[in-house]
Amino acid sequence: MRQFKYILLSLILILAYQSHGEEKMTLNKLTPAEEKVIIQKGTERPFTGKYNNFSEKGTFTCKRCDAPLYRSADKFDSGCGWPSFDAEIPGAVKRIPDQDGRRTEIICANCGAHLGHVFIGENFTAKNTRHCVNSISLNFIPADATPKTELAIYAAGCFWGVEHYFKQAPGVLATRVGYTGGQTVNPTYRQVCSGKTGHKEAIEVTYDPTKTTYEELTKLYFEIHDFSQTDGQGPDRGEQYLSYIFYRNASQKQIAENLKALLIQKGFKVATTIEEAGVFYPAEEYHQDYYTKTGKAPYCHFRRKIF
């Protein structure tokens, strides 16, 4: 009977998450030509796209879901016939093996729209990366009309579950999980798990400040984990699972400290450390958006209403 109840609860959580995701996702109607590239993973002819010879300042967004993908500052002329970028907006683009078995496909992290392919080692720019993108997969917002985005960085145990909740939050544009707070440069997951790097499993959240606030996101952060735990989070033990807020400016620091003080006033024990943000190292690709990829549900993060 106990096993049956556990299975039933797991199914309910998964269905609730899938239902929530379906409600949240809004997709734009595509023309047949757009569907051929964006859905069927086709390729537009070189030198024909509207953004190939294009140098205006602003932000390139996904044609299918409007998620911000690239900044004009990262666009360069590679001469290949398609728009080229040497970096994406953090967390906006996913890399997956192409069906041809040779190349790496890039898709919108939010809706899965096909964008093109990414190539490494061509030495076009100092970043040594070229995102070769179909113009038809993109829209463009001029700089004077581009909404401002801000970043927040949190650690609250296993970053799979933390990302699961932040991806659902209103105003969140993109997320990526990674490692920060330690001394090892470009750490691997295995190194972080050794407990010798000082790094925490963390999440970097890109959000629209006109649709949410750092305070609201930080309240969500406190509500989805046990901030009183001093040795890890749930069943996960070790320094990489500790509760940390990594502030990026004086305003974020003050908001975090105020909320921590408020929780203490409410009678909670708060073990969360508030620390200035350092370098954020993205985790391996298989860690990104883990629960969406696997269809599973978090096992050590649950939201409880506190504020």
Catalytic residue ranges: 132, 158
- List the structure tokens of 31: 């023309």
Please, what is the Cα angle at 180 between 118 and 231, to 5 degrees? 135
How far apart CA 186 and CA 279 sit, in angstroms, is 10
CA 135 from chain centre, in angstroms, equals: 23
How far apart CA 203 and CA 224 sit, in angstroms, is 13
What is the secondary structure of 108-165 as a DSSP string? ETTT--EEEEEEES--SSTT-EEEEE-GGGEEEEEGGGPPP-EEEEEEES-HHHHHHH
How far apart CA 149 and CA 126 sit, in angstroms, is 25
Any idea which residue has 């989805």 for tokens? 224
> How many other C-beta atoms lie within 10 A of the C-beta of residue 5?
9
DSSP state of 303: -
> At 219, is the secondary structure helix, strand, or coil?
helix
Sequence-distant (≥ 6) Cβ neighbours of residue 271 within 8 angstroms? 227, 228, 229, 230, 242, 243
